[in-house]
Amino acid sequence: MRYLQFILLFCLVFCVQNSLQSHSEQFNNTDSTFIEDHTNQPLNLSDESPFLLNFSSENINYNSSSRQLKKLIHIQRHGARISEREGMELTEKGKVQLRILGHEIFEKYYNHVQNSSEFFQNIQVYSTNYNRTIQSAQYFLLGLFESQLDNGEREKHSDEVFINNLKSLIQIYKTNYNSDILLNGWRQNECIKQKELVKIQINSPFFKQMFSFLYPIVSDISALINIQINTFYDAYLLYDDIISQQIEGNISEPLQMVLANQTLFNTLRFMNDFSAIYTFYGSPLQVKITTQTLMQKILEIFSSSPYSLLSPSLTVFSAHDITLDGIFAALNLTNPRCLIESYYQNQFSHLILEYPYFYAPLEICLASPSFAANIQIELYDDDSIQFVYNNKIYNIPSLSSLEELNNFVQSFYLGIDSQFSCSSENHKYLRHHSEETKTSQL
C-alpha cells in the first residue's frame, strides 16, 4: 500500500513540475535589451517563480498595435560603474550600455519619438544628482538622437560635441536631496521616518539571522578574494563590482573564481537582491512612503492635458537599482519572502515562516535590476497602460488603464501624506520647479 502511495505521489509531483516549468518559461526575465558584449550573461540560477493567474509577460512589436502611443515614461538604472573605492563613476562600457539602450528605445518606439520639429520639446529628463546617473541620461539621449542620423552625419562630430549640443536642447533636471522623487527615503534624503524604518530593518533579528545562516558561504568568498564581508552591504558592493568588471572584460582572477562557482555567486546575488529589497522595502509602510512621489509623478504625467507644460511625449528618469526596486515592490512584483523562495526554496523554509510580515506568494518575483535595466510605462490613446521591463511586457491588474492607475495611487497611498513628511512637500516642490523652468525656456 505504501509503495502504491509513493508511486502516485511521485507521478503527481512530476506532472505539476512539468506544468510549472512550461508556464514559467514566459516569466523568464533574464533577456537583455543590449548586445551580447555589453551586459552580463544570463546565469544558471533558480529564480523561476510559481505560476498563478492574472500576470503574464510577452514580447511584442511596439509599432504593430492598432492603438496609438500617447505618452511614454522610461525609467533606467545607470550603466556599469567602477567600485565604491574609486568613486562609483560610470565606466566606458557603462556609457556604451546606455547609448545602445537609446538606440533600442528609438527602434521600438520609432513612431512615437521620430525626428520632428518638436522632438526636443517633447522630451523631459530627470536624474538623481550623481555623475553616473547624469552621464547615463546623457548617453541614453545620445543614442536616442543619433539613431535618426545617417552614418555620415554621425561621423562629423565626436560624442562630446553631440552631448554638448544636446545639453543646449534638452535640460536634465537634477533632483536635489530634498525634492528627490527617485531616491525618496535614501540616506541623504530628509525622510526621517524612512531612516527610522531602515535602521529597524538592518538591526532586526531576522536580518541578522539571515546573515548568520549565509555566513559559512560568505566566509568562503571572503577567503577567496581576501576581502572581509561583514554585512549585506559589503556583499551588495562586491556583487556590483563583479558584474561591472565582467562587463568591462577585465575581471580579476579572485572575482572570476567567485563568478565561476555557482554556489558562491548565487549566494552573492541573493544577498544583493534580498538586502536591497529588505532594507528599503521590507515593510508595507516603507514601500508606501518611499514610492509615493514617483508613482504620483507618473500619474500626473499621464493625467495632464496634452497642452500642459507637464505633458511631454517622452519622460526619462535616470536613477538607481533601488528606484526600480521600489516600483517592483509597489506593484507587487517582488518582496523579501518571494526572493527567499525563488533562490533557496526549501533551504530557507524555516526563515520564511519567521518573516515578520505576511506576504502571499507572488506570480512574478523580480530580482534587483542589473546595470542599465529599464522600465517603460506606455499610455495609449484609449487610456490603456502597458508595463515593460527589460523588453518584456508584464500585464499587471492594477496598471492596465489610466483609471486603474489613478485608483491604485489613491487607495495604496491613502493617509501617507498626513502621517509622514516624506513625499508630499517634495513632490509639490518638484512640480513647481518643473513648471517654472519650462516657462523660462519658452
Buried b (16+ CB within 10 A) or exposed e, 302-330: bbeeeeebbbbbbbbbbbbbbbbbbbbbb
Beta pairing partners, 69: 380
Domain that holds residue 214: 202-276
Residues 68 and 216 in one domain: no
State the pairing for strand pair 69-77/374-380: antiparallel
405 and 339 part of one domain: yes
Chunked into runs of 10 residues, the chain (442 residues) has average pLDDT values of: 40 36 32 29 29 35 68 95 77 93 91 62 86 92 80 65 71 66 57 83 90 92 94 93 90 93 93 93 88 90 72 87 94 90 71 66 88 96 95 91 95 74 46 41 40
Q: 412 and 370 in one domain? A: yes
Which is nearest to 239 in space by CA: 367, 327, 333, 75? 367
Domain edge (last residue) among 259, 276, 293: 276
> Does 253 map to a domain?
yes
Burial (CB < 10 A; 0-12, 13-18, 19+), residue 338, is buried
Helix H or strand E encompassing 175: strand 172-175
Asked if the structure places residue 114 within a domain, the reply is yes
Q: Are residues 329 and 221 in the same domain?
A: no
Strands 172-175 and 392-394: what pairing? unpaired
Residues 162, 307: one domain?
Answer: yes
Per-residue pLDDT tens over the stretch 405-420: 999 999 998 877 655 6
- Do 112 and 240 lie in one domain? The reply is no
Is 271 domain-assigned? yes
Query: Is 8 inside any structural domain?
Result: no
How long is the chain? 442
For residue 42, tell me if it sits in a domain: no
Do 423 and 386 have their domain in common? yes
Q: 178 and 210, same structural domain?
A: no
End-to-end Cα distance, the chain = 83
Q: Rounded to an integer, what distance in angstroms lies between the CA atom of residue 408 and that of residue 400? A: 11
Q: In 10 A of CB 107, how many CB atoms?
A: 11
DSSP 8-state code for residue 251 = -
**Contact between 315 and 124 (Cβ < 8 Å):** yes
* Residue 15 maps to a domain: no
224 vs 83, 141, 381, 412, 421, CA distance in Å? 18, 41, 56, 45, 45
Number of H helices, E strands in the chain: 18, 8
Degrees to nearest 5, angle at CA 181 with 178 and 182? 110
Residues 289 and 152 in one domain: yes
Same domain, 65 and 139: yes
Look at residues 276, 303, 333 and tell me which one is the last residue of a structural domain.
Answer: 276
Last residue within a domain, chosen from 276, 304, 339: 276
- At residue 31, the pLDDT reads 30
CA distance 387 to 126: 20
pLDDT tens readout for residues 156-192: 666 777 777 777 667 777 776 555 667 665 544 457 7
Whether residue 352 is contained in a domain is answered as yes
pLDDT at position 4, please? 43
- For residue 52, the model assigns a pLDDT of 24
Q: Note the pLDDT of residue 340.
A: 86
Question: To 10 degrees, what angle do helices 205-225 and 253-260 make?
Answer: 120
Do residues 315 and 428 both lie within one domain? yes
Residue 234: inside a domain: yes
349 shares its domain with 221: no
Residue 127: DSSP 8-state: E
CA dihedral 12, 15, 21, 24 (to 10 degrees): -80
Domain holding 349: CATH number? Answer: 3.40.50.1240
Domain count, the chain: 2
